Amino acid sequence: MSTVELGAENFESTVTDNEIVLVDFWASWCGPCRQFSPIYDAASEEHPEIVFGKVDTEAEQALAGAANITSIPTLMAFKKGNLVFSQPGALPAPALKQVIDAVVDLDIDKALAEQASKESGE
């Protein structure tokens, strides 16, 4: 699957309606963003079961602000609507593969149950 443009109108529904969503926050003037783009696009073709979204931080400044984006590119990963990874900086292909594999392998239900247990003081 190719990448999907995300904006204020479809960001939340995309993140909540899909099992795994990766989001690349970028801008056209950003050199590292342009370097990361073909790596990200190639990964989207290798993993059609995952939604790969892109947010143009220039066009979607309010969304970037709401996501606390302070540096671009920033990659975020969501699983079952939960943010499970967020890191600024362009990743080389092997590092992106590691992130994707970790998100795929993450048992989000177990992680959420463990977090809830810690927060309740058990």
User: Is the model's pTM score more than 0.85?
Assistant: yes
Active site residues per annotation = 30, 33
Q: What is the DSSP string of 51-94?
A: EEEEEETTTTHHHHHHTT--SSSEEEEEETTEEEEEEESPPPHH
Choose the weakest-confidence range: 10-24, 72-86, 108-122: 108-122
pLDDT computed for residue 85 by the predictor: 96
Residue 28: pLDDT above 60?
Answer: yes
Task: Name the average pLDDT for the chain.
Answer: 94
pLDDT tier for residue 121 given thresholds of 50, 70 and 90: confident
* Tens of pLDDT, residues 69-92: 999 999 999 999 999 999 999 999
**Residue 18 neighbours by CB distance under 10 Å:** 17
Query: By C-alpha distance, which of 57, 99, 60 is closest to 78?
Result: 99
